[in-house]
Homo-oligomer: A and B are copies of this chain.
Amino acid sequence: MKNLIILISSCTALFFSGVAAHAADGAKKGGDGLPDPGVVFVKGQTAIVITDPQIDFLSPDGVAWALVGKSVTKNGTVENIEKLMKIAGEKDILLVISPHFYAPQDLTFKHGGALEHAMHGIKMFESDERLDQAGFKPSTGPDFMPQYKKYINNGKTAVANPHKVYGPDTNDTVLQLRKRNVSKIILAGMSANLCTESHLREFMEQGFEVLVVKDATAAAQLPGMDGYAAAMTNVRMIANGVRTTEEVLVQINKEL
């Protein structure tokens, strides 16, 4: 056991020394010994992307509250997302929303993963919105949180089409960003290990730089399966950086 710890220590040391050799990228070391490349914000090239800021996830009235409510409350997720939306408007930073949403015909999909089944089971994010029909009823589960609407409907925020699994692969989030020359993303929203992490992973495949805001997200916590802990491990390894809302606000005020 002692040997193992030594091995790990020497390895993380190796990781950092290797990164030092990869100096062109200027990656600093985090307190955990892993590289912490971070993202330098540049005006006009930086956007805030929020996944699933919807009632079903963020309100006690939402169908998933029993699963995620504890994590949402502990992190102050609702308030932290609002802080990010607010500064986007103040600093003229592009805000992009990628919502989760099922139209009636999506319920005839013939197969899906465990949580896809679960979501359909509790009728999460379901609406009869259709291209030629009226939108869904305000303040039902798939709707945006009421306090976010003034930031979303301000005439500047881009609302991508709904994604249908977890990632932005099936909607136009990436296009919304690229058509506005954005290459650096501040990522937050729900839920940490599902839609937020899938957005992170796809953004990295697409060559974006991504900073994840760890307390402006939250996740389902089930016995033996802590979605928030899982996400924190994975986003630390995958993203360019992981920061608190407070740290991101400070960096935005300094750089944008």
Footprint of B on A, CB under 8 Å? 4-5, 7-8, 10-12, 14-22, 24-25, 27, 30, 32-37, 66-67, 69-70, 97, 99, 101, 103-115, 117-118, 120-123, 129-136, 138, 143-144, 149, 152-153, 155-159, 161-167, 169-172, 174-181, 183, 193-194, 197-198, 201-202, 204-210, 220-227, 229-234, 236-241
- Additional A-B contact list (16), CB under 8 Å, known A15-B122, A32-B224, A165-B204: A10-B66, A14-B66, A22-B120, A27-B117, A113-B204, A114-B237, A114-B241, A164-B172, A165-B175, A174-B207, A175-B205, A175-B206, A194-B238, A198-B201, A220-B237, A230-B230
Instruction: Decide: A225 near B237, CB < 8 A? Known: A36-B114, A37-B114, A201-B201.
Output: yes
A-B contact pairs, 23 of them (CB 8 A): A14-B122, A15-B118, A18-B118, A18-B122, A19-B121, A25-B111, A32-B225, A34-B115, A36-B114, A37-B112, A99-B131, A111-B181, A111-B240, A113-B238, A129-B135, A167-B201, A170-B171, A171-B171, A174-B206, A198-B201, A225-B232, A225-B236, A226-B233
Q: Which residues of B contact A35 (CB under 8 A)?
A: 114-115, 117-118, 121
Instruction: Give the CA-CA distance A175 to B239 in the complex, in Å.
Output: 16
Instruction: Decide: A193 near B113, CB < 8 A? Known: A7-B66, A166-B201, A174-B207.
Output: no
The smallest C-beta distance from A64 to any residue of chain B, in angstroms, reads 8
Quick one: which of A138, A156, A158 has the most chain B CB within 10 A?
A: A158
Instruction: Give the CA-CA distance A89 to B56 in the complex, in Å.
Output: 34
Q: Is the CB of B131 within 8 A of A134?
A: no
Q: Which residues of B contact A122 (CB under 8 A)?
A: 14-15, 18
The smallest C-beta distance from A101 to any residue of chain B, in angstroms, reads 7
Q: Which residues of B contact A198 (CB under 8 A)?
A: 201, 205
Q: Which residues of B contact A11 (CB under 8 A)?
A: 66-67
